[in-house]
Each structure stands twice: as C-alpha cells, then as structure tokens.
Amino acid sequence: HMPTDELRALDAAHHIHPFSDTAQMRARGARVITQAEGVWLTDSEGNRILDGMAGLWCVNIGYGRTELADVAARQMAQLPYYNTFFMTTHPPAVALSAKLAQIAPGDKNRVFYAGSGSEANETNIRLARHYWHLLGHPEKKTIIARKNGYHGSTMGAASLGGMAGMHAQGGMPIPDIVHIDQPHWWAEGGGMSPEEFGLARARQLEEMIDQLGEDKIAAFIAEPIQGAGGVIIPPETYWPEITRICREHHILLIADEVICGFGRTGHWFGTDYYDLDPDIMTIAKGLSSGYQPIGGSIVRESVAQVIEDGGEFNHGYTYSSHPVAAAVALENIRILEEEKVIDRVRSETAPYLQQKWASLADHPMVGEARMAGLMGALELTPEKASRAKFAEEGAVGLMTRERCFANGLVMRHVGDKMIISPPLVISKEEVDRLIELAWQSLDEGMAD
Ligand code: PLP
C-alpha cells in the first residue's frame, strides 16, 4: 500500500506502458487502479470509476467473481502447470475443448490454445498456410485482411491488422499479407446506401483475389464487428457477400472473435450474430473474462483433420492449454451459461443501452451513435450535417476520454470516436449512470 505518488514515481522509472503517451502520462500521473467489483473500478485515491470498456473489452462477467479465484487456487494447488505437447493432455484442457466445441456453431469442434489473441492469430497464419501446403498448394499463402482491423501486437498479428500507426513502427506488414478497405459506411459511404456500400466493400475482396490470383490466397481474416478500429458495424449486405466470395474462390474464412465472442453481441459469437460459417475462429479476452491470459483457435473439423493427418504440427506455446487458465475459462463459461448472462444481454441489457446510447446522437458534437449488442461508438464531429472531421484528428477524442475518466467513466477513444463495451452484467441503473456521465463529459467538452 504505497502512496500514489511513490507508485507513480516507481512506475515512471521502470515500467514501459503499452499504447501510452509517456510524456502526457507523466505530466498528469498514471492512474493507479487498485481494485474492482462488478462494473466499478477503484483507484488508489478512492475514486470509483464506471468501467465502460470492461478493461480491454474482456471482463465480460464483471469484476470480483470469487468463483473464478477459487477455481484458479484449486487448480494451482492440484496441477499449476503442465502442457499438452508430446502427446500428453490434462483434464482442464479436455473439459474446455469439449465445452468450446459444444458452444461454437456447426462443425467447429477442435481447439488449439494460445496465451492471447495475438498468439492465436499467429497460429491462424500458420494453420492456414500449412493447410494449403498439405493439400498440395504451397503457393496459397497470402492472407487478405482489412485496413483499420486489429488482430494483435505480435509481428504476424499486427501485420494482419490494418493499423497504419502500428505498421510504421517496425517494418510491417510482413510479406504476403494485404489489406482491403473497412466497411465503415458513416465515414466512407460516399453517397451510397448502406446496402450498396456493404456490397461494394465486400467486393473489394473479390477484386483483390482476382488481382493476386485465387491460387495465391490462403485466407481472409476479419472481425465480425471491428472493435479497436472504432466499432465498425458492417451493413447487412456485407457478410453474406464475403461468405459467398470466400466459398467461390476456395479461401479460408477466419473470424476474429476476440472481442465479439463470449456474449458481446448478445450471442456466444459474432459468428452467431451474423449467421456466419467461418473455418477458424480466434478467441481470447471474454473466454476467461480476462481473469487469466488465454486465447485460441477454434477450427472446423475438416480443416483440423487435414492438419492432423499431416503429421506433427510444429507449433505451440509453453502456455498453450495452460491448466489454470483453462480451468478459469471453463468456470467463466459455466457462469455465463448458468446465470443466462448472454440471454439477458440479448433480451434486456442491449436493447436498453442501445436506446439510451442512440439518444446521445442528439448531442451537438455527436454525428452518429451506433451500437451492436453491448459494443458501441460515437462519431464526434464539429459539424453533423457534413460529417466534418476536427482539424487535429484525435485531439477532441483524447480530451473527451480524459474528461470522462475525471468524471468517473472509462470510455475509450479511437481518433475522434468514443467507444464503449461495458461488462455484460451492467445493470439498468448503471447504464443510466453511464449515459449521464457521457452527456456531462461531452457538454464540458463543448463548453471549452
Ligand atoms: N483480435 C482482436 C479482434 C482484438 O481486439 C485483440 C485485442 O484487442 C486481439 C486480437 C489481440 O489479443 P491480445 O491482446 O490478447 O493479444
């Protein structure tokens, strides 16, 4: 229990932060979060802050679930670590795999584990290329992804991602990964109806396949709803067309469910929300509600069969199928099911929050308030009618995020979009509070 100033000084001296502006952070002092319960964080100065982001879109079950801590403690005492390399297994890996096969749609019956979403997407690159190699098509190795998509921070995953700011730091994308445009109608619709725009953006995939040659393409990867890019909800025409193109051109479809999975859309997966049938699904985050680091790839049976028949897959992480993480994930899924958390999101919480969220579009600074399930974005603009951008992109978003935090609400900013993705267990009263704090913070921004 060190005083806040001392913690900040030590932090500044020794801790390199992910995705943080160090100079700004030192000027205002890093926020020190010390505990959490439900949807509420507490900082080292005793302030309570409503976590509108569920951490990093991951604490789906909410904070403070001691059942998860108990399961972790029991598993640590019994078998704190073992791996599933070299033809071994252990009960938590078996039980979690069987459970995931049950809740994943259709014939997605096999799971390869990783320690995170980034690692899982690295696995997916290798799986997709190895699959085609085994089928006698080693030249089918290019992966098509989307601009402004996010798939993680390792070299392969950040290359799949379409974040220009990340690519600029360290020579990405790596070879054989290319990007098409995102289906962001509000900002890029260019006078088309959402339906026309959805088709046009999906057909960019076909154009890219035609340009590079179908015999060079291994897979297309995308988030059902782009999260970190700013909650980009595709028009209804988008996914059916993408599915047609992947099937007709014989390329694998990888749905990155790291954010959309485990209830965020009011269904188990974004794949269920859009009625997709991907060959591989990336999972992480909500799989354990962030209580343990774990990710994985859920693979269609027929694809997994090719890999398995091909002999040893020379790939794996020390923490693939970590027993404590697997046991915690299983308990998290048990609670989601037993307490009907996802059903409640679909039938009650999401409709309630969506209606309140939509009312924020009346604010003079908000051009659009969109939401699917419990993930939403506000497009901030200086001029609603023209959907103009602010002169310095991201500055108003950053200021709004800081203002929200000072008022007791975590919202994230992506440029000048404000994002929420609260724990799935948020109550109606807490939704009301979230909306109140968002209005207040936007109003204060206008006043400046
Ligand atoms: N995929 C998506 C869609 C994500 O949003 C993220 C993280 O935000 C990742 C992958 C990477 O996951 P991790 O940070 O666990 O490596």
Give the residue-averaged pLDDT of 97-115.
98
Residue 253's CATH number: 3.40.640.10
pLDDT value of residue 384: 93
Q: What value does the mean pLDDT of the chain take?
A: 97
Question: What is the Å distance from ligand 1's center to 296 Cα?
Answer: 11
Cβ of 350 closer than 6 Å to ligand 1, yes or no, is: no
The verdict on 213 and 101 lying in the same domain is: yes
For 284-303, write each residue's pLDDT tens digit. 999 999 999 999 999 999 99
The pair of structure tokens assigned to 406 is 């000072």
pLDDT bin (cut points 50, 70, 90) of residue 416 is very high
278 lines ligand 1 (CB under 6 A): no
The CB of 118 under 6 Å from ligand 1? The reply is yes
Q: Report the percentage of the chain scoring pLDDT > 90.
A: 98
Cα of 121 from ligand 1 centre, angstroms: 9
Return the residue matching tokens 């968002």.
438
Structure tokens at 249: 């051109």
The verdict on 113 and 44 lying in the same domain is no
Domain final residue pick, 309, 338, 367: 338
pLDDT level of residue 448 (50, 70, 90 thresholds): confident
Q: Residue 52 pLDDT more than 90?
A: yes
Ligand 1 pocket member 222 (CB < 6 A) = no
Cα(242) to ligand 1 centroid in Å equals 22
Q: Does residue 17 fall inside a structural domain?
A: no
- Kindly give the residue spans of alpha helices, DSSP state H, lying in 168-300: 185-188, 194-212, 238-248, 270-274
Statement: the pTM of the whole predicted model exceeds 0.90:
yes
Place of tokens 């001296």: 13
Same domain for 371 and 396, yes or no, is: yes
CATH number for the domain that contains residue 423: 3.90.1150.10
- Cα of 117 to ligand 1 centre, how many Å? 5
Which ligand 1 atom sits nearest the alpha carbon of residue 56?
A: 8
pLDDT average, residue stretch 98-121: 98
Atom of ligand 1 nearest to the CA of 226: 3
* 3-state DSSP assignment of residue 135: coil
Ligand 1 probe mutation, 19, 60, 118, most atoms within 8 A of CB: 118
What does DSSP assign to residue 413?
E
Q: Residue 434 has which token pair? A: 């979230």
Q: What is the pLDDT of residues 148-157, one digit of tens each?
A: 999 999 999 9
C-alpha to C-alpha distances, 284 to 262, 281, 347, 407, nearest whole angstrom: 9, 10, 25, 30
pLDDT of residue 412: 97
Looking at the structure, tell me whether residues 41 and 137 fall in a common domain.
Answer: no
Pairing, β 108-114 against β 412-414: unpaired
pLDDT at site 170: 87
Give this complex's ipTM. 0.99
Count Cα neighbours of 344 within 13 Å in the Cβ-side half-sphere.
15
Q: Is 295's C-beta closer than 6 angstroms to any atom of ligand 1? A: yes
Give the model's pLDDT for residue 205: 98
Provide the 3-class DSSP secondary structure of residue 138. Answer: coil
Assess whether the C-beta atom of 116 lies below 6 angstroms from ligand 1: yes
Residue 40, domain extent: 31-64+340-447
Residue 442 has pLDDT above 90, yes or no: yes
What pLDDT digit, counting tens, does each position of 301-329 carry?
A: 999 999 999 999 999 999 999 999 999 99
Establish if 22 belongs to a structural domain.
no
Is 226 inside a domain boundary?
A: yes
Distance CA 401, CA 379 (A): 13
Q: Which atom of ligand 1 is nearest to the CA of 118?
A: 16
Q: Look at residue 7 and tell me if it is in a domain.
A: no
Residue 58 reports pLDDT greater than 80:
yes
pLDDT digits (tens, 9 = 90+) for 193-237: 999 999 999 999 999 999 999 999 999 999 999 999 999 999 999
333-373 confidence digits (pLDDT tens): 999 999 999 999 999 999 999 999 999 999 999 999 999 99
Say if ligand 1 is within 6 A of residue 189 CB.
no
In a domain, 275, yes or no: yes
Does residue 291 form part of some domain? yes
For residue 32, how far is its CA from the centre of ligand 1 (angstroms)? 23
Q: Please tell me the distance between residue 151's alpha carbon and the centre of ligand 1 in angstroms.
A: 5
**Block residue for tokens 């923490």:** 319
For residue 445, the model assigns a pLDDT of 83
- Do residue 331 and residue 354 come from a single domain? no
Q: In testing the pocket of ligand 1, which one of 148, 259, 265, 319 has its CB within 8 Å of the most ligand atoms?
A: 259
Could you give the CA distance from residue 410 to residue 401 in angstroms, rounded to a whole number? 7
Amino acid at 160: L
- Report cis status (omega within 30 of 0) of the bond before 173: yes
Looking at 338, 369, 393, which one is the last position of a domain?
338
* pLDDT at site 149: 98
User: Do 225 and 260 touch, CB atoms closer than 8 A?
Assistant: yes
State residue 254 phi and psi, 5-degree precision. -110, 120
What is residue 446's predicted lDDT score, i.e. its pLDDT? 81
Average pLDDT for residues 134-146, to the nearest whole number? Answer: 98
Residue 366 and residue 283 in one domain: no
